[in-house]
C-alpha cells in the first residue's frame, strides 16, 4: 500500500491517537479517585485495591516525564453511573422514549452502552454512521473527565455484532474471488474504522494486501494481490 492511498485513513488514526493523549488530572465529580506512583504497575494496582477497600476498580495508567508511572483507580460501578448520567441525555435527544443500560466487560471493551428502543434504524443510520457519531460524542464527553481515553462501545439491537459478522463474511467471500482470478476487488460503503480494521486484517497476509482510494465520502477499499506476488 502506498503512502498516498492510505493518507486519509492514517489521518483518521492520528486523530484517534490525539484524543487518547493524557489530560490534566482532575477528579470526576461525584466519583472517588485513588492514585499511586511508582514503576511496578501490578504493585501499584494492588495498593489501590487496598485503598479502595477491596472494591473492583477501573484503572488508568499515565507515564510521567521522570519515567515513573501513575496509576489512577476509580470504583467501577461509580464510573458506570457517571457514564449513564452523561450518555442518557444524549440518547434522549434521538428518541425520548429510549432507555439505556451500562455494562462492563473487560474482556471485550471497558464499558458498553446498550440502547433499548423501537427505533433502532434511527440510531444506526447508514452503515452505522449515526451510531458511530453518538459513540464518539459520548466518548469525548466522558473521557475529558479522566486522564486518558475511556474505552466504551455504544450499541443497539446487537448491531455491532451483526456488522462484525457481515464484514468477516464479506472478507472471506472477496478473498475467494481474488484467489480465483487474481484480480482486485473493491469494498464500498465502509466507515474509516472499518477500513482500518480490514487494513490491519491483511497487514501480515502472505499474498494479499489492501489499498484505500478516492476522496471522502466515496473513499473505497480494495483487496488485491501483492505487487511482488503479481510480478512472479
pLDDT per position as a tens digit, 19-30: 455 566 778 889
Q: Which of 52, 114, 117, 125 is nearest to 84 (CA)?
A: 114
Give, in degrees to the nearest 5, the angle at Cα 148 between 147 and 152.
130
Q: Could you tell me the pTM of the whole model?
A: 0.78
Residue 44 has pLDDT above 50, yes or no: yes
**pLDDT > 70: percent of the chain:** 87
What is the pLDDT at residue 215? 87
Structural contact between residues 84 and 103, judged by C-beta atoms closer than 8 angstroms: no
Chain region(s) in the chain for CATH 3.30.300.20 = 31-157
Report whether the peptide linkage leading into residue 84 is cis, meaning its omega lies within 30 degrees of zero.
Answer: no
Chain region(s) in the chain for CATH 3.30.1370.50 = 1-22+158-225
Greater pLDDT, 47 or 2: 47
Q: At the top level of CATH, which class does the domain 1-22+158-225 belong to?
A: alpha beta
* CATH architecture designation of domain 31-157: 2-Layer Sandwich (3.30)
What value does the mean pLDDT of the chain take? 88
What does the pLDDT average to over 126-135?
A: 92
Residue 206 has pLDDT above 60, yes or no: yes
Name the grid cell of 79.
Answer: 464510573
Amino acid at each position: 500500500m502506498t503512502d498516498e492511498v492510505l493518507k486519509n485513513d492514517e489521518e483518521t488514526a492520528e486523530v484517534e491517537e490525539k484524543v487518547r493523549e493524557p489530560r490534566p488530572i482532575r477528579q470526576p465529580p461525584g466519583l472517588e479517585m485513588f492514585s499511586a506512583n511508582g514503576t511496578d504497575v501490578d504493585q501499584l494496582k494492588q495498593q489501590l485495591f487496598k485503598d479502595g477497600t477491596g472494591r473492583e476498580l477501573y484503572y488508568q495508567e499515565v507515564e510521567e516525564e521522570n519515567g515513573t508511572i501513575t496509576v489512577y483507580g476509580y470504583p467501577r460501578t461509580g464510573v458506570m453511573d457517571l457514564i449513564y448520567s452523561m450518555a442518557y441525555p444524549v440518547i434522549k435527544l434521538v428518541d425520548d422514549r429510549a432507555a439505556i443500560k451500562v455494562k462492563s466487560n473487560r474482556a471485550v471493551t471497558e464499558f458498553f452502552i446498550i440502547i433499548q428502543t423501537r427505533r433502532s434504524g434511527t440510531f444506526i443510520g447508514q452503515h452505522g454512521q449515526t451510531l458511530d457519531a453518538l459513540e464518539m460524542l459520548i466518548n469525548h464527553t466522558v473521557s475529558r473527565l479522566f486522564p486518558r481515553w475511556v474505552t466504551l462501545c455504544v450499541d443497539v439491537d446487537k448491531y455491532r455484532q451483526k456488522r462484525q459478522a457481515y464484514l468477516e463474511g464479506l472478507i472471506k467471500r472477496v478473498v475467494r474471488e481474488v484467489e480465483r482470478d487474481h484480480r482486485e476487488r473493491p469494498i464500498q460503503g465502509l466507515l474509516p474504522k472499518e477500513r482500518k480494521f480490514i487494513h490491519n486484517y491483511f497487514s501480515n497476509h502472505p499474498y494479499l494486501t489492501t489499498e484505500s482510494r478516492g476522496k471522502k465520502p466515496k473513499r473505497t477499499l480494495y483487496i488485491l494481490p501483492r505487487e511482488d506476488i503479481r510480478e512472479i
